[in-house]
Amino acid sequence: MNEKQPSLLGGVMIIAGGTIGAGMLANPISTSGVWFIGSILILIYTWFCMMSSGLMLLEANLHYPTGASFDTIVKDLLGKGWNALNGLSLAFVLYILTYAYITSGGGITEGFVNQLLSSPESAVEIGRTSGSLIFAILLAAFVWFSTKAVDRFSTVLIAGMVISFVLSISGLVSSVKSEVLFDTLSSTDTQYLPYALVALPVCLVSFGFHQNVPSLVKYYNRDASKVVRSVFIGTAIALGIYMLWQFAIQGNLPRSSFGPVIEKGGDIAALLNTLSATLETSYIAVALKFFAYMAIASSFLGVTLGLFDYIADLFGFDDSKLGRTKTALVVFLPPLILSLEYPYGFVIAIGYAGLAATIWAAIVPAMLAKACREKFPERQYTAFGGNGMVYFVILFGLLNILAQLAAQFGWLLEFKG
């Protein structure tokens, strides 16, 4: 009897689910300089390059045994040096994202707890430090306990995220104003193009699915056509949702109103509070806050679970309570301390994650495709575009690195609101 092949829907959901995360909360802030039309063009460009690099990784992966990971493929095709750089960039991305989620989750936690404990007679202010500690310790406990605990809680979070997203997006879309969406009322900064490069590294993080490609090769028993369709459709769904989100946010909150949010490093709590003040319906603001919180929490669990396993393997910590506690301290303590020291760094951190992600999600997959074409004349699957597309993706990666470094040294014009 032939074993039944998994459906295409399963692969599409793996890619779409792994791609869509808290990065979408950073996109409207990072693209506020180029505004709506510019942000759509940047998202399409980023999607095309990242989708292409994912297919290049698939091409290389198919030359190796089922289950082979980045480590095996990069070491064989590019050598130990590139493999070490690739591993370091992956670890850096996971750590910096953990920091980003603690800073944002802490801000929203602070707001929720203050609102819950306050009364008309007395206002309670627990502070940002307490909010970050509550958020990090509560969710870290699930990761420390077991993968199954993370799986169960993530399912609850994702279900809540879908419900709150539908509620908030329906209300936001219906209240979009064309003069806000197309920035026709702006009387101060009417430049858009100079701010394009700043947005690139943040948008790149929004299309990070490449760690799922080897898993899909195994899932579909090396059926390249199904993996290709899963990657294309899954990332296209993510692109559509991001574009709808840009439409909803940038159609309601004027470009000039992003100033206080940018001043606080793209703090999500600041964005939600600013957006809530412009909405006529209070339930939309509540649904938005729940959506943001669940998106950040689910992304935090996904990222830290991967980092937890990576650190345990790297340092040889066992799976006992003591071993898992050691792993948890190495995973959570550095980003938590950084978050307490620099509580307003969400978009900046996502940008740095984009810088490192450029290496393992854009440049390395393109180099792998070129190397495997030289090493293996016969191929089961070849990514579209030939070597021209390889260089196009590498150029995209270099452009992202240049943008992040130029922004760091103050060489780029930054939108202040």
pLDDT at 2 over 60: no
DSSP H helices in 281-363: 282-315, 321-341, 346-358
Q: DSSP label at 223? A: -
Q: Is 282 exposed, middle or buried (0-12, 13-18, 19+ CB in 10 A)?
A: exposed
Write out the two tokens for 371.
């190397």
Most confident of 102-111, 313-322, 331-340: 331-340
Residue 405 host element (H or E): helix 386-408
For 48, list phi and psi in degrees, rounded to 5.
-60, -45
**What digits encode the pLDDT tens for the residues 209-228?**
888 888 888 888 999 999 99
Q: What ranges in 62-195 are assigned the alpha helix state H?
A: 70-78, 80-117, 128-145, 147-174, 178-181
- What are 149-205's pLDDT values in tens digits? 887 887 888 888 889 888 888 888 888 999 999 988 766 667 888 898 988 988 998
Q: Is the dihedral of CA 270, 264, 98, 334 positive or negative?
A: negative
Kindly state whether residue 206 falls inside one of the protein's structural domains: yes
* Average pLDDT value for residue range 86-105: 87
Question: Would you say 250 and 260 are in contact if contact means Cβ atoms under 8 Å apart?
Answer: no
**Residue 333 neighbours by CB distance under 10 Å:** 12
What's the pLDDT score for residue 211?
80
| 223-to-53, 94, 214, 262 alpha-carbon distances in Å | 18, 30, 12, 45
pLDDT of residue 187: 63
Q: For residue 12, what are the CA distances in angstroms to 157, 188, 222, 228? A: 20, 43, 16, 10
* AA letter at 147: T
Tell me: pLDDT of 295 over 50.
yes
Cα R_g (the chain), whole angstroms: 21
Q: Which of 158-162, 233-237, 252-256 has the highest mean pLDDT?
A: 233-237
Is 416 domain-assigned?
Answer: no
pLDDT for residue 22: 63
How is residue 349 written in tokens? Answer: 């951190």
Higher-confidence residue of 208 and 390: namely 390
pLDDT at 279: 76
- Supply the pLDDT for residue 388: 96
With residue 23 as reference, give the H or E element that holds it: helix 23-30
pLDDT tens per residue, range 25-61: 788 988 999 999 999 999 999 999 999 999 999 999 9
Q: Cα(26)–Cα(395) distance, rounded to whole angstroms?
A: 24
Separation CA 251–CA 174 (nearest Å): 10
Q: Say how many domains are in the chain.
A: 1
Residue 346 has pLDDT above 80, yes or no: no
CA–CA distance, 308 with 114 (Å, rounded to integer): 31
Measured CA to CA, the distance from residue 209 to residue 54 in angstroms comes to 8
Q: 406: how many CB neighbours lie within 10 A of its CB? A: 13
And the tokens for 382? 């070849």
Asked if the structure places residue 379 within a domain, the reply is yes
Indicate if the pLDDT at residue 383 is higher than 90.
yes
CATH of the domain at 200: 1.20.1740.10
- The model carries a pTM of 0.85
> What residue numbers bound the domain in which 54 lies?
10-409
Residue 258 DSSP class: G
**Residue 246 — very low, low, confident or very high, per pLDDT cuts 50/70/90?**
very high
Looking at the domain assignment, is residue 417 inside a domain? no
Contacts of 367 (CB under 8 A, 6+ apart): 77, 78, 82, 390, 394
Q: Is 70 exceeded by the pLDDT of residue 270?
A: yes
Query: Stretch 225-243: mean pLDDT, rounded?
Result: 94
pLDDT of the residue at 243:
95
For residue 268, is pLDDT > 80? Answer: no
pLDDT of residue 1: 44
Banded model confidence at residue 417, pLDDT cuts 50, 70, 90: low
Tell me what pLDDT residue 314 has: 78
Check: CB of residue 284 under 8 Å from CB of residue 167.
yes
**Which pLDDT score, from 0 to 100, does residue 21 have?**
72
pLDDT > 90: percent of the chain: 37
Residue 285 pLDDT > 60: yes
Average pLDDT over residues 49-74: 90
Determine, yes or no, domain membership for 3.
Answer: no
Query: The tokens of 192 are what?
Result: 């858009």
Average pLDDT estimate for 282-292: 83
In a domain, 414, yes or no: no
**Which residue, chain included where needed, has tokens 């992040």?**
404
pLDDT of 396 > 60? The answer is yes
When the pLDDT of each residue in the chain is averaged and rounded to a whole number, the result is 87
Mean pLDDT check: name the lowest of 25-39, 110-124, 269-283: 269-283
In a domain, 415, yes or no: no
Classify residue 196: in a domain, yes or no: yes
Q: Which of 120-124, 187-191, 313-317, 329-333 has the highest mean pLDDT?
A: 329-333
